Amino acid sequence: MKRVIFSVMLFALLSLSPFSVAAERLRIGYSSISGSYIGLWVAHDAGLFAKEGLEDQIILIPSGSQLAQVTVAGEVEVGSFNGSSAIAAAMQGADIKIIGATVNKMIFSIYARPEIKTAEGLKGKKLGVTRFGSSTDISARYALRKHNLQPEKDVAILQMGAISSIMGGLQGGSIDAGVVSPPTLFAVDKLGFRELINITDMDLAFPNPALIVQGGILRNKPEVIDRFMRAYTRGIHRARTDKETTMKTIARYSKVEDPFFVQKAYDLYIGKVLEKAPYINMAGMQNALDDLVKTVPAVRNAKPEQFIDLRFLGNLEKSGLIKELYR
């Protein structure tokens, strides 16, 4: 009898143990080393995904186009990359939806060699972006046109692969100018390169990056996405309220060691860029469509709503979590 009672008690204890049920796997892909991903980094490092019963893995895939392919294939549960790439993939038949955005504007600057003193001085020069169709490419072309320069015709645009490679290209002289984001931007500035165009100050609304999920995952594992949204939102709150730890996280992922640059990145993203939850700016979505129509004419009659699944943001609002965190 005692053995039976002991067995029942042991079963009950195991049932209550957090290790008795396997955590749900959650792979999150992100496309660049940028402060735009602070919420993901902090949520991972602070164990906030794990607290939602998720066995999370965050994976850097430094190419938005490659990450789009991985997301379409369902090889990551959540992909965070340029919303324009997601729309283009959906127009080609990919079963994906945007469920949120970590940033709703372009956060970049164009830096050039010191002897190039104005945007007009870029004429006949080589400008580095990560990849064609990426957010750096879209931002570069937008900024050049605003300064009456025609991309490709007046300024050659070169693919460098990653933000760090753009910095290396500037140092090595293979490009004359490049599009960079914080905190790399601050390191480039310290090296003596000149900021020609501050794209951040141009307030170009854009889903960059967006949060994208493959349709099969949305249909079969909606509760996993709900848990992701809660953990991400807690990550943003933790970043806002624990500055010291967050700065260490930024330094670790960005590989930027100078605390001055890390401080500037923190102040910019937490103070001016990252929202309290992954809200979607519909004006930014429309800008993405307007830009994409140049290369994908079929989007001319498309509407932003057809590329979005708002139920997870709705569930987040209904849960009361945002009000609880910021009361």
Domain total of the chain: 2
pTM of this structure = 0.85
pLDDT in the model for residue 100: 98
Residue with tokens 């000149």: 194
With a pLDDT cut of 70, the percent of the chain lying above it is: 93
Instruction: Tell me the one-letter amino acid at 164.
Output: S
Do 37 and 97 lie in a common domain? yes
Structure tokens at 131: 């990849």
CATH number of the domain within which 113 lies: 3.40.190.10
Cis peptide before 114 (omega within 30 of 0): no
What is the Cα–Cα distance from 279 to 236, expressed in whole angstroms? 12
- Tell whether the model's pLDDT for residue 313 goes beyond 80: yes
Minimal CA–CA distance to 41: which of 313, 269, 284? 269
Residue 296 placed within a domain? yes
Do 93 and 116 lie in a common domain? no
Say if strands 156-159 and 78-81 run parallel, antiparallel, or are unpaired. unpaired
Q: Which residues of 126-139 are buried (b: 16+ CB within 10 A; e: fewer)?
A: bbbbbbebbbbbbb
pLDDT in the model for residue 82: 92
Q: Helix 243-254 crosses helix 38-45 at what angle (to 10 degrees)?
A: 110
Do 230 and 292 lie in a common domain? yes
- Tell whether the model's pLDDT for residue 32 goes beyond 90: no
Do 216 and 231 lie in a common domain? yes
**Neighbour-count burial of 47, counting CB atoms closer than 10 A to its CB (0-12 exposed, 13-18 middle, 19+ buried):** exposed
Do 212 and 272 lie in a common domain? yes
Do 86 and 31 lie in a common domain? yes
From 169, 202, 235, give the residue that closes a domain.
Answer: 202
- Tell whether the model's pLDDT for residue 20 goes beyond 70: no
Contacts of 44 (CB under 8 A, 6+ apart): 28, 56, 58, 235
pLDDT in the model for residue 4: 40
From 202, 235, 253, give the residue that closes a domain.
Answer: 202
Do 249 and 186 lie in a common domain? no
Beta bridge partners, 308, equal 98
Summarize the confidence of residues 270-277 as an average pLDDT.
Answer: 93
Do 74 and 220 lie in a common domain? yes
Strands across the sheet containing 24-30: 54-60, 24-30, 78-81, 210-214, 96-101
Residue 215 placed within a domain? yes
Band of residue 76 on the pLDDT scale cut at 50, 70, 90: very high
**Cα-based angle 274, 275, 279 (whole degrees, multiple of 5):** 120
pLDDT in the model for residue 153: 97
pLDDT in the model for residue 18: 42
Band of residue 58 on the pLDDT scale cut at 50, 70, 90: very high
Residue 267 placed within a domain? yes
pLDDT in the model for residue 66: 87
Residue with tokens 């504007």: 105
CA distances from residue 225 to 102, 199, 274, 313 in whole angstroms, order as listed: 15, 32, 20, 10
pLDDT in the model for residue 63: 78
Do 182 and 283 lie in a common domain? no
For 101-141, how does the pLDDT look when each residue is reduced to its tens digit (9 = 90+)? 999 999 999 999 999 999 999 999 999 999 898 889 999 99
Supply the range of the domain harboring residue 163: 109-202
What is the Cα–Cα distance from 67 to 32, expressed in whole angstroms? 10
What is the Cα–Cα distance from 249 to 245, expressed in whole angstroms? 6
Residue 9 placed within a domain? no
Instruction: Tell me the one-letter amino acid at 292.
Output: L
Residue 6 placed within a domain? no
Higher pLDDT, 172 or 294: 172
Summarize the confidence of residues 15-40 as an average pLDDT.
Answer: 79
Contacts of 219 (CB under 8 A, 6+ apart): none
Do 310 and 210 lie in a common domain? yes
Residue 51 placed within a domain? yes
pLDDT in the model for residue 290: 94
From 142, 167, 202, give the residue that closes a domain.
Answer: 202
Beta carbons of 217 and 77 less than 8 angstroms apart: yes
pLDDT in the model for residue 235: 98
Residue 316 placed within a domain? yes
What is the Cα–Cα distance from 214 to 105, expressed in whole angstroms? 23
Do 216 and 320 lie in a common domain? yes
User: What is the DSSP track for 186-200?
Assistant: HHHHHTTPEEEEESG
Average pLDDT, the chain: 91
Residue 16 placed within a domain? no
Do 320 and 210 lie in a common domain? yes
